[in-house]
């Protein structure tokens, strides 16, 4: 009797494992919001704040944590791979905070890059653009030459035009460099000079940056907040939720001011996600939040892909209108919190025990 019950449970476990594995590998084909506009000629998948944590050593008390971290890598990889395999984006943007801490040594940084490269391998569909985040290089008050250089070696430049044609372009900037320190700071100057070099573009732009633009409190989950270190009377930026209004105007003018076409900003940082839009006040020449969210430049803070937030992917569809202009549509493809993924793994490994029921 017990043997028959165990065999029945084993068969049930196998069926559940098969169904769950098929689901997590193919969920973009099933879930709402997980598809491009059928008329899309440009396809960009955005992953918000993966924050790859460190692997603890195998010592007493750390086994569970080690398993949790390895499982988290597999969870993130299953999401990224399913999206890239089934939806085949032209571009993949990882919206900063690729790692969970800037306060790590070079060996740990290299090891996390190794693991990151397995989560987002270059041989899957979609050219990858890595955005620098505060947990990758620090807020501006945390910048060091070493942190900047090791990021560039592994993940690429901080400020660059990722793609440009007469119709549209994709711009990536280091938004952490603009607020807080003195105006003559070398990293701020590098970003300001880059922004100055890309003005007057006539097409439509997508801006990829980590810190969201300035907006009044209550619009998004994160209100405006700035904290500073104080080193013997000299302040340096310690943390921020938004860009300052001055930096926001600098960025939007450089990226979108040379054109009257629609634009899109993708940001990370605020893990909950948010959407708003901006218009240029032609009298004051200041970019202002559009209260009806119908502004010319739309900003989307991409909800995090971490397990606690549901394993999200932002999908951007670029649509060519009759006059040849590109218009942008955004949808959020949600997977599930990490528990669904863990249940899949447990049922899968339990199936390995099934043959022993027939042996014994």
98-139 pLDDT, tens per residue? Answer: 999 999 999 999 999 999 999 999 999 999 999 999 999 999
Interval 222-251 mean pLDDT? 91
Instruction: Check residue 358 and give its pLDDT.
Output: 55
Instruction: Check residue 356 and give its pLDDT.
Output: 57
196-205 pLDDT, tens per residue? Answer: 999 999 999 9
135-174 pLDDT, tens per residue? Answer: 999 999 999 999 999 999 999 999 999 999 999 999 999 9
Instruction: Check residue 167 and give its pLDDT.
Output: 95
pLDDT higher than threshold 70 for residue 60: no
Secondary structure class of 205 (helix, strand, coil):
strand
Structure tokens at 268: 């990370």
Instruction: Check residue 253 and give its pLDDT.
Output: 97
pLDDT higher than threshold 70 for residue 225: yes
203-219 pLDDT, tens per residue? Answer: 999 999 999 999 999 99
Torsion from C-alpha of 234, 194, 248, 266, nearest 10 degrees = -120
pLDDT higher than threshold 70 for residue 190: yes
- In DSSP notation, 45-85 reads EEEB---BPPPPPS-TT-HHHHHHHHHHHHHHHHHHHHHHH
Which is higher by pLDDT, 324 or 62? Answer: 324
Q: 112-139 burial string, b = 16+ CB within 10 Å, else e?
A: bbebbeebbeeeebbebbbbbbbbbbbb
């Amino acid at each position: 009797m017990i043997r028959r019950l165990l065999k029945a449970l084993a068969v049930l476990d196998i069926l559940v494992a098969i169904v769950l594995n098929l689901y997590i590998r193919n969920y973009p084909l099933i879930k709402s919001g997980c598809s491009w506009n059928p008329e899309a000629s440009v396809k960009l998948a955005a992953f918000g704040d993966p924050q790859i944590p460190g692997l603890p050593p195998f010592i007493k008390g750390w086994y569970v944590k080690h398993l949790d971290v390895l499982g988290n890598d597999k969870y993130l990889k299953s999401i990224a791979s399913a999206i890239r395999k089934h939806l085949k984006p032209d571009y993949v943007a990882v919206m900063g905070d690729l790692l969970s801490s800037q306060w790590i040594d070079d060996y740990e940084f290299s090891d996390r890059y190794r693991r990151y490269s397995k989560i987002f391998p270059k041989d899957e569909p979609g050219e990858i653009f890595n955005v620098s985040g505060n947990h990758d290089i620090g807020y501006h008050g945390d910048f060091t030459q070493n942190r900047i250089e090791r990021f560039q070696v592994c993940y690429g430049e901080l400020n660059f035009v990722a793609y440009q044609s007469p119709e549209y372009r994709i711009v990536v900037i280091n938004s952490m460099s603009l607020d807080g320190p003195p105006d003559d700071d070398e990293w701020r100057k590098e970003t300001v000079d880059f922004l100055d070099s890309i003005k007057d573009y006539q097409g439509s732009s997508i801006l990829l940056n980590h810190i969201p633009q300035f907006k009044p409190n209550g619009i998004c989950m994160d209100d405006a907040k700035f904290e500073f270190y104080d080193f013997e009377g000299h302040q340096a930026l310690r943390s921020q939720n938004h860009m300052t209004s001055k930096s926001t105007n600098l960025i939007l003018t450089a990226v979108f001011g040379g054109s009257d076409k629609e634009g899109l900003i993708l940001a990370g940082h605020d893990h909950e996600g948010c959407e708003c839009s901006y218009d240029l006040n032609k009298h004051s020449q200041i970019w202002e939040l559009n209260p009806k969210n119908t502004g010319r430049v739309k900003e989307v803070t991409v909800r995090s892909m971490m397990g606690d937030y549901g394993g999200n992917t932002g999908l951007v569809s670029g649509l060519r209108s009759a006059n040849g202009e590109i218009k942008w549509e955004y949808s959020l493809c949600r997977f599930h919190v990490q528990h669904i993924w863990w249940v899949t793994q447990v049922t899968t490994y339990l199936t390995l025990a099934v043959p022993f029921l027939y042996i014994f």
